[in-house]
Each structure stands twice: as C-alpha cells, then as structure tokens.
Amino acid sequence: MSAPYIDSLEQNKKRTINQSPGLIPVARWGPHRIDRFLSTAYIAAMALRDILILPDKRLRQVSEPVKKIDAGIRKLIEDMFETMYDAPGIGLAAIQIGTPKRVVTADLAKKEDPKNPQVFINPEVLWASEEKKVYEEGCLSIPEYYGDVERAAQVKVKYLDIEGQPREIEADGLLATCLQHEIDHLNGVLFIDHLSKLKRDRVLKKFTKAAKRAAE
C-alpha cells in the first residue's frame, strides 16, 4: 500500500524503537528495566490496540470532530487499520479503541481480492434512501453476537479523506450498512439499540456478567 499513513507508520516504528522519549522513563521503573523497555517498545511499534467491549461506558460517548489531520490523527488511523485487520473486521470507529474522534476505517474487500483500505474523517449522512434493507450485523465491541438490523439501503455520505479533502460517496449494499453502523458508533449508538428491548437487555446482561466475572 502506498498510502501516506503507511509511510508514517514505518517512521513511527523507527522513532518508537530508537528514540521515543515517551518510552525511556519506563527503563527506570524496575529491576527488569531493559526487558520492560524492549517489550514496551515492541508493543508500541505493533500499534495493535485493545477494542472496548460492551458494557464499557466509553462506547456511549459522542466523538469529537477532527479539527486538523496531524501526525496524531495519522497514527490513530494506522492503529485502527492494524487493529481492524487483526480482529478481523470490515470496519472500525476510533471510539472502539478508546479515542473519541470522528474517524472511521473500513475495508470490504473479499479475502481473495487486494486490500481496499478506506478512511472516513468526520463522516456525515447527507441523504438516506426510503428503501430499507435488513442485514445480520456483528460488532467487534460485542463479540460473537449477531442481530438483524434494518437500515437505509443506500446513503450519501460526506467526509474528509486522509489529506483533508472534502469528499462524497454514494454507497449501497454492505458499504451502506457498514457506514451507518460506524457513524452510529461516533454518536454512541450500538447496533443492539436497533433491536427489541428484550434482545438488547438480554445481551447487555450477558456482557455485564462476563465483565464482572473477568474483574474478579
């Protein structure tokens, strides 16, 4: 891939391992300081981030618009792609890795086709069709749970690309579903909010129990 965020990923990896001032203080913390420094540097270079899981309250936050596409936003996008491909998922909103910025990544390419990474910064639905479509959705923040969601069959979305250029896309099929799912995330909405109260309460209870057990 020749996208600029990949070039800057390479630069960031070198900077993190060789000279990151943010990591050096870790070396003062304990008897295994060299091991800890190296493992921390390695984790930082991988840029794989934890995905927030229901019922994490941060998933209910409304994300802030991106004002300037700077190195921090480009690094966020790199982390999102790495995390999304690793999961694996076809989309990801920045809040799912704990960053409340209005950034979405997606790649709907089939396994056998070349990758097709797409970035949507500050996406907004300009138009949604009256026609509806039902798709059985999943969510990386609600693992192994799926439910039928009815959404607009076609949408027109405006957004900024990685260079900050305003763009519009007319989407149908899975991209239309995915964009609406991800824009919901930016507004603190989850796909289970589109299900019946009975189903939503049931899944919430299950994940709340699991989180409590994990914390014990």
Residues lying near ligand K1U in the complex (CB under 6 A) are found at: 88-93, 135, 137-141, 177-178, 181-182, 185
- β-strands 103-106, 91-93: how paired? antiparallel
Residues 77-136 that bind Zn ion (CB under 5 A): none
Sequence-distant contacts of 92-96: CB under 8 A, at least 24 apart: 92/140, 92/182, 93/63, 93/182, 93/185, 93/186, 94/63, 94/186, 95/52, 95/58, 95/59, 95/61, 95/63, 95/185, 95/186, 95/188, 96/51, 96/52, 96/59, 96/140, 96/141, 96/185
Q: Which residue among 139, 149, 160, 171 contacts Zn ion (CB under 5 A)?
A: 139
59 binds, among Zn ion, ligand K1U, none (CB under 5 to 8 A by kind): none
Query: Could you tell me the two tokens for 77?
Result: 């996008």
Nearest residue (beta carbon) to Zn ion: 139
Q: Find the largest Cα–Cα distance for the chain.
A: 64
Q: In this complex, which beta carbon is closest to ligand K1U, that of residue 73 or of residue 147? A: 147
Q: In this complex, which beta carbon is closest to ligand K1U, that of residue 47 or of residue 176? A: 176
Give least dist CB 90 to Zn ion, A: 10
Give least dist CB 190 to ligand K1U, A: 9
Element (H, E) at 170: strand 166-172
The span from the CA of 100 to the CA of 59, in Å, is 9
The DSSP annotation for 73-90 comes to HHHHHHHHHHHHHHTT-S
Give least dist CB 142 to ligand K1U, A: 8
164 binds, among Zn ion, ligand K1U, none (CB under 5 to 8 A by kind): none
Candidate list 82, 144, 163, 182, residue with the active-site label: 182
103 binds, among ligand K1U, Zn ion, none (CB under 5 to 8 A by kind): none
Task: Collapse the DSSP code of 18 into the 3-class scheme (helix H, G, I; strand E, B; otherwise coil) and give the result.
Answer: helix
Give least dist CB 147 to Zn ion, A: 12
Q: How many residues does the chain have?
A: 216
Q: In this complex, which beta carbon is closest to ligand K1U, that of residue 28 or of residue 115? A: 115
130 tagged catalytic: no
177 binds, among Zn ion, ligand K1U, none (CB under 5 to 8 A by kind): ligand K1U
* Contacting positions for Zn ion (CB under 5 A): 139
**Active site residue ranges:** 182
